[in-house]
Protein backbone atom coordinates (compact mmCIF):
# COMPACT_ATOMS: atom_id res chain seq x y z
CA UNK A 1 0.00 0.00 0.00
CA UNK A 2 1.51 3.29 -1.10
CA UNK A 3 1.30 6.15 1.36
CA UNK A 4 1.58 9.87 0.79
CA UNK A 5 4.44 11.81 2.33
CA UNK A 6 3.93 14.84 4.59
CA UNK A 7 6.75 17.40 4.76
CA UNK A 8 6.26 19.59 7.84
CA UNK A 9 5.36 23.21 7.02
CA UNK A 10 5.44 22.54 3.24
CA UNK A 11 2.65 20.11 2.40
CA UNK A 12 2.03 16.57 1.21
CA UNK A 13 2.78 14.58 -1.91
CA UNK A 14 0.86 11.55 -3.04
CA UNK A 15 -0.09 9.53 -6.08
CA UNK A 16 -3.82 9.09 -6.69
CA UNK A 17 -5.63 6.97 -9.28
CA UNK A 18 -7.42 9.01 -11.94
CA UNK A 19 -9.75 7.63 -14.61
CA UNK A 20 -9.02 8.90 -18.13
CA UNK A 21 -10.92 8.12 -21.31
CA UNK A 22 -8.57 6.89 -24.07
CA UNK A 23 -10.50 6.26 -27.26
CA UNK A 24 -13.47 4.23 -26.08
CA UNK A 25 -11.69 2.70 -23.05
CA UNK A 26 -11.34 4.01 -19.54
CA UNK A 27 -7.77 3.82 -18.27
CA UNK A 28 -6.70 4.36 -14.68
CA UNK A 29 -3.55 6.49 -14.39
CA UNK A 30 -1.57 7.13 -11.24
CA UNK A 31 -1.29 10.93 -11.01
CA UNK A 32 1.08 12.71 -8.60
CA UNK A 33 -0.56 15.44 -6.51
CA UNK A 34 0.66 18.07 -4.08
CA UNK A 35 -1.35 19.67 -1.28
CA UNK A 36 0.02 22.85 0.28
CA UNK A 37 0.31 22.99 4.07
CA UNK A 38 -2.18 25.25 5.82
CA UNK A 39 0.52 27.56 7.20
CA UNK A 40 1.71 28.39 3.66
CA UNK A 41 -1.73 28.53 2.10
CA UNK A 42 -2.94 30.99 4.71
CA UNK A 43 -0.01 33.31 4.02
CA UNK A 44 -1.43 34.42 0.65
CA UNK A 45 -4.98 32.96 0.67
CA UNK A 46 -3.86 30.24 -1.72
CA UNK A 47 -5.98 27.30 -2.72
CA UNK A 48 -5.55 24.94 0.19
CA UNK A 49 -6.55 21.29 0.14
CA UNK A 50 -4.69 19.82 3.08
CA UNK A 51 -6.64 16.53 3.03
CA UNK A 52 -5.93 13.76 0.58
CA UNK A 53 -8.73 12.01 -1.32
CA UNK A 54 -10.35 9.08 0.47
CA UNK A 55 -8.93 10.02 3.88
CA UNK A 56 -5.59 8.44 2.94
CA UNK A 57 -2.98 8.42 5.68
CA UNK A 58 0.25 10.37 5.26
CA UNK A 59 3.65 9.13 6.26
CA UNK A 60 5.88 11.73 7.90
CA UNK A 61 9.09 12.59 6.07
CA UNK A 62 11.90 10.39 7.31
CA UNK A 63 14.80 12.74 7.96
CA UNK A 64 17.18 9.84 8.63
CA UNK A 65 16.51 8.37 5.18
CA UNK A 66 16.98 11.79 3.53
CA UNK A 67 20.26 12.18 5.44
CA UNK A 68 21.45 8.75 4.30
CA UNK A 69 20.60 9.48 0.65
CA UNK A 70 22.32 12.89 0.82
CA UNK A 71 25.33 11.56 2.80
CA UNK A 72 24.87 14.10 5.61
CA UNK A 73 23.92 13.85 9.27
CA UNK A 74 20.25 13.60 10.25
CA UNK A 75 20.54 16.93 12.04
CA UNK A 76 21.94 18.61 8.90
CA UNK A 77 19.19 17.12 6.69
CA UNK A 78 16.44 18.26 9.07
CA UNK A 79 17.99 21.72 9.39
CA UNK A 80 18.22 22.13 5.59
CA UNK A 81 14.62 20.99 5.03
CA UNK A 82 13.21 23.23 7.76
CA UNK A 83 15.36 26.15 6.55
CA UNK A 84 14.09 25.71 3.00
CA UNK A 85 10.45 25.57 4.05
CA UNK A 86 10.98 28.62 6.27
CA UNK A 87 12.43 30.53 3.30
CA UNK A 88 9.47 29.48 1.13
CA UNK A 89 7.03 30.70 3.77
CA UNK A 90 8.90 34.02 4.07
CA UNK A 91 8.85 34.53 0.28
CA UNK A 92 5.13 33.78 0.09
CA UNK A 93 4.34 36.12 2.97
CA UNK A 94 6.14 38.90 1.09
CA UNK A 95 4.12 38.08 -2.05
CA UNK A 96 7.09 36.69 -4.00
CA UNK A 97 6.33 33.85 -6.41
CA UNK A 98 8.33 30.68 -5.85
CA UNK A 99 9.38 27.85 -8.15
CA UNK A 100 10.53 24.87 -6.07
CA UNK A 101 12.36 22.23 -8.14
CA UNK A 102 11.90 18.64 -6.98
CA UNK A 103 14.50 16.50 -8.72
CA UNK A 104 13.04 13.64 -10.78
CA UNK A 105 9.50 14.82 -9.90
CA UNK A 106 8.80 18.27 -11.30
CA UNK A 107 8.46 21.89 -10.27
CA UNK A 108 6.14 23.20 -7.57
CA UNK A 109 4.97 26.68 -8.59
CA UNK A 110 3.51 29.00 -5.96
CA UNK A 111 2.45 32.55 -6.64
CA UNK A 112 -0.51 34.87 -6.48
CA UNK A 113 -3.34 32.71 -5.19
CA UNK A 114 -2.33 29.55 -7.08
CA UNK A 115 -0.27 26.51 -6.32
CA UNK A 116 0.36 23.83 -8.91
CA UNK A 117 2.85 21.20 -10.02
CA UNK A 118 4.48 20.89 -13.42
CA UNK A 119 5.68 17.39 -14.17
Burial class (CB in 10 A: 0-12, 13-18, 19+), 99: exposed
Residue ranges per structural domain of the chain: 5-118
> Mean pLDDT, the chain, as a whole number?
78
Give the model confidence (pLDDT) of 21-47 as tens digits.
888 899 988 877 777 777 665 555 555
Number of neighbouring beta carbons within 10 Å of residue 34: 21
Of the candidates 56, 113, 61, 104, the residue with the CA atom closest to the CA atom of residue 84: 61
pLDDT score of 50: 44
Give the model confidence (pLDDT) of 55-99 as tens digits.
666 778 888 988 999 999 999 999 998 888 888 878 877 888 888
pLDDT score of 48: 46
Amino acid sequence: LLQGIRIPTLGSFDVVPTETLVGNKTVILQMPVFHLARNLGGAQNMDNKDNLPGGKQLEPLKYARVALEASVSRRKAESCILGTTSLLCHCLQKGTGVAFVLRDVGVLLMGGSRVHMRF
